[in-house]
Structure 1
Amino acid sequence: MPLPRTPRRRLVGGALSLALLTALGIAVVAPSGSSSAPGGERPPVSGIGPLPWPQDGQSAVDLEGTGSLGERGGRRPVPIASLTKVMTAYVVLKEHPLRPGEQGPLIEVDRQAAHEVGVGGESTVPVRAGERHSQRRLLELLLVPSGNNVARLLARWDSGSQEAFVAKMRRAAGRLGMEDTVYTGASGIEPTTVSTAADQVRLTRAAMEDPVFRAIVATRRITVPGLGTITNTNPLLDTPGVLGVKTGSSTPAGGNLLWACEVRVGGTPRLLVGAVLHQRAGTTPAEGLRAAVDAGRGLLTAVRDRLASAGTEGPGR
Structure 2
Amino acid sequence: MPLTRRQVYLRRRLWVFGGGLVALASAFYLPLTLLAPVQDVAAQVSVFETRAAVQPPLTFPEYGASAIGAVGYPGVLASGGSVDALPIASISKVITALVILEAKPLAVGESGPDIVFGDTDVKFYDAQVAQNGSVAPVYSGQVLTQRNAMNVMLVTSANNYAESLASWAFGSQQAFVQAATGWLERAGLASTAIVEPTGVSPSNVSTSGDLVELGRIALADPVVAEIVATSSIDIPELGIIENTNSLLGITGVDGIKTGTLDEAGSCLLFSQDYSVGDTTVTLVGVVLGGPDHETIDAAIQSLLTQADAGFQAVTLVEEGQQFATYDTEWGDESAAVAASTLSVVMWSATPITVASSVEDVQLADAGTRVGSLTFTVGDRTLEVPLELSSTIDDPGALWRLSHPLELF
Which residue is 1:165 aligned to?
176
Which residue is 1:87 aligned to?
95
User: Please, which moves more after superposition, 121-130 or 296-305?
Assistant: 296-305
Deviation at 1:119, TM superposition (A): 2.9
Q: What pairs up with 1:6-21 in 2 under 5 angstroms? A: none
Residue identity opposite 1:51 in structure 2: L
Residue identity opposite 2:96 in structure 1: T
Which residue is 1:292 aligned to?
296
Query: 127, 134, 149: which one pairs with 2:160?
Result: 149
Which residue is 1:99 aligned to?
107
Q: 1:177 to 1:266 in 2, by over 3 A?
A: farther
Deviation at 1:240, TM superposition (A): 2.3
Residue identity opposite 2:63 in structure 1: D
Is 2:270 aligned against 1:259? yes
Q: Separation in 1 of the partners of 2:251 and 2:64?
A: 25
SS of 1:62's partner is strand
Which residue is 1:275 aligned to?
286
SS of 1:116's partner is helix
Q: Separation in 2 of the partners of 1:194 and 1:51?
A: 25
Is 2:53 aligned against 1:53? no
Q: Separation in 2 of the partners of 1:167 and 1:259?
A: 27
Residue identity opposite 1:72 in structure 2: G
Residue identity opposite 2:250 in structure 1: T
User: Please, which moves more after superposition, 292-301 or 91-100?
Assistant: 292-301
Query: 212, 230, 233: which one pairs with 2:244?
Result: 233
Is 2:301 aligned against 1:301? no
Which residue is 1:71 aligned to?
79
Deviation at 1:196, TM superposition (A): 1.0
Q: Separation in 2 of the partners of 1:119 and 1:145?
A: 18
Q: Separation in 1 of the partners of 2:92 and 2:253?
A: 20
User: Please, which moves more after superposition, 266-275 or 193-202?
Assistant: 266-275
Residue identity opposite 2:109 in structure 1: G
Deviation at 1:270, TM superposition (A): 2.8
Q: What TM-score results when the alignment is normalised by the length of structure 2? A: 0.62
Q: Separation in 1 of the partners of 2:124 and 2:197?
A: 14
Residue identity opposite 1:113 in structure 2: D
User: Does the aligned pair in 2 maintain the 1:196–1:277 contact within 8 Å?
Assistant: no
SS of 1:219's partner is coil
Which residue is 2:341 aligned to?
none
Q: CA RMSD in A?
A: 2.1
Deviation at 1:173, TM superposition (A): 1.1
SS of 1:208's partner is helix
SS of 1:124's partner is coil
User: Does the aligned pair in 2 maintain the 1:85–1:187 contact within 8 Å?
Assistant: yes
Which residue is 2:226 aligned to?
215
Deviation at 1:299, TM superposition (A): 1.3
Which residue is 2:41 aligned to?
none
Residue identity opposite 2:68 in structure 1: V
SS of 1:262's partner is strand
User: Does the aligned pair in 2 maintain the 1:246–1:257 contact within 8 Å?
Assistant: yes
> Greater share of strand residues, 1 or 2?
2
Deviation at 1:265, TM superposition (A): 4.8
Which residue is 1:17 aligned to?
none
Deviation at 1:297, TM superposition (A): 2.1
Deviation at 1:275, TM superposition (A): 0.7
Larger radius of gyration: 2
Residue identity opposite 2:199 in structure 1: G
Deviations 1:10-60 (A, max 9, x none): xxxxxxxxxxxx99x5x43xxxxxxxxxxxxxxxx51xx210211111111
Deviation at 1:120, TM superposition (A): 2.0
Deviation at 1:266, TM superposition (A): 5.7
Deviations 1:85-116 (A, max 9, x none): 00000111111111111000001112122233
Query: 236, 244, 257: which one pairs with 1:246?
Result: 257
Residue identity opposite 1:292 in structure 2: I
Which residue is 2:130 aligned to?
119
User: Does the aligned pair in 2 maintain the 1:75–1:180 contact within 8 Å?
Assistant: no
User: Please, which moves more after superposition, 256-265 or 182-191?
Assistant: 256-265
User: Does the aligned pair in 2 maintain the 1:109–1:127 contact within 8 Å?
Assistant: yes
Residue identity opposite 1:295 in structure 2: A
Deviation at 1:312, TM superposition (A): 5.5
Aligned residues: 265
Residue identity opposite 1:291 in structure 2: T
Deviation at 1:308, TM superposition (A): 5.3
Q: Separation in 1 of the partners of 2:168 and 2:209?
A: 30
User: Does the aligned pair in 2 maintain the 1:64–1:271 contact within 8 Å?
Assistant: yes
Deviation at 1:258, TM superposition (A): 0.6
User: Does the aligned pair in 2 maintain the 1:166–1:186 contact within 8 Å?
Assistant: yes
Which residue is 1:41 aligned to?
none
Deviation at 1:309, TM superposition (A): 8.3
Structure 2, unmatched stretches of 5+, are 1-48, 315-343, 347-408
Deviations 1:209-240 (A, max 9, x none): 11111110000001123222111000110312
